[in-house]
């Protein structure tokens, strides 16, 4: 399949100060099937809108795609506490991704108040749709509610044997719930029910606090120099702000 390169420029790394990043964006000629998505994820690729990308930085290899083996996953004590804290209180709905004023307000509060935004400008409905709703692969949205209040949203790409966490955001007022941790545990359970083998958590960067948390989910593999390798157990780095 021939992909068209639509962006390939050097830019400041969003994860490590002083580093130069390269994220070539490639547009597929059509929607990818679940099997084709599995293959792209296995190559360490991610999706952004209707395009896919893989890091190809000129002088840095800190970004390591990470995937959790769903059938073997064992929650840590802190992860089990996050599960108990929310079970019976948080309701989860699954459906197609969409854009709304409620989602936008929650997304922008999360980015600004958690210190994740590189711009003071809030994301608008066109940008949100282009990034998280419009897709070139089968995509689902998990919505987390307390009562009728939306407190978190996860965007997942769904293959035949794998699921990729595209992005997660939550209400900063609900930080005590550890929604980042809880959402990963719930999504791993959702994957297990569907018979999924791999849950892709995006990029792991050891020296980036926003991405280092991913090492706390076991067992997992990281793609290093083009090869998936089993990673040693490490203590959880706490709750994550988002998947990247």
Q: Residue 61 pLDDT more than 80? A: yes
Structure confidence at residue 111 as a pLDDT band (50, 70, 90): very high
Alpha helices in 99-152 (DSSP H): 101-113, 125-128
Q: Residue 235 pLDDT more than 90? A: no
How large a percentage of the chain has pLDDT more than 90? Answer: 90
Give the pLDDT score at 119: 74
Handedness of CA 129, 169, 70, 47 (dihedral sign): positive
Complete domains list, the chain, with CATH? 63-230 (3.40.630.30)
Give the pLDDT score at 238: 47
- Residue 176 to residues 82, 148, 173, 179: CA-CA distances in angstroms? 9, 19, 8, 8
Q: Residue 94 pLDDT more than 90? A: yes
Give the pLDDT score at 120: 74
pLDDT, one tens digit per residue, over 155-185 is 999 999 999 999 999 999 999 999 999 999 9
Tokens at 9, concatenated: 């420029």
Give the pLDDT score at 116: 77
Q: What is the mean pLDDT of the chain?
A: 94
Q: Are 169 and 106 in contact (CB under 8 A)?
A: yes
Find where tokens 């939550």 sit: 170
- 228: CB partners within 8 A, 6+ apart: 42, 67, 221, 222
pTM value is: 0.94
């Amino acid at each position: 399949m021939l992909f068209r390169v639509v962006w390939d420029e050097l830019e400041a790394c969003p994860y490590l100060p002083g580093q130069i990043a390269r994220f070539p964006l490639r547009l597929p000629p059509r929607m990818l099937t679940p099997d084709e998505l599995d293959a792209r994820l296995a190559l360490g690729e991610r999706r952004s809108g209707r395009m896919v990308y893989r890091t190809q930085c000129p002088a840095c290899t800190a970004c390591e795609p990470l995937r959790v083996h769903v059938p073997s996953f064992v929650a840590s004590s802190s992860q089990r506490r996050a599960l108990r804290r929310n079970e019976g209180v948080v309701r989860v709905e699954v459906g197609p991704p969409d854009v709304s004023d409620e989602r936008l307000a929650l997304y922008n509060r999360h980015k600004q108040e958690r210190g994740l935004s590189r711009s003071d400008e809030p994301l608008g409905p066109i940008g949100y749709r282009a990034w998280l709703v419009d897709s070139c692969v089968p995509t689902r949205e998990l919505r987390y509610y307390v009562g009728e209040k939306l407190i978190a949203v996860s965007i997942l790409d769904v293959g035949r044997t794998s699921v990729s966490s595209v992005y997660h955001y939550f209400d900063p007022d609900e930080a005590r719930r550890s929604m980042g941790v809880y959402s990963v545990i719930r999504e791993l359970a959702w994957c297990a029910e569907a018979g999924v083998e791999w849950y892709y958590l995006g990029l792991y960067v050891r020296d980036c606090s926003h991405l280092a948390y991913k090492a706390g989910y076991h067992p997992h593999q990281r793609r290093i120099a083009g090869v998936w390798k089993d990673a040693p157990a490490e203590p959880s780095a706490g709750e994550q702000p988002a998947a990247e």
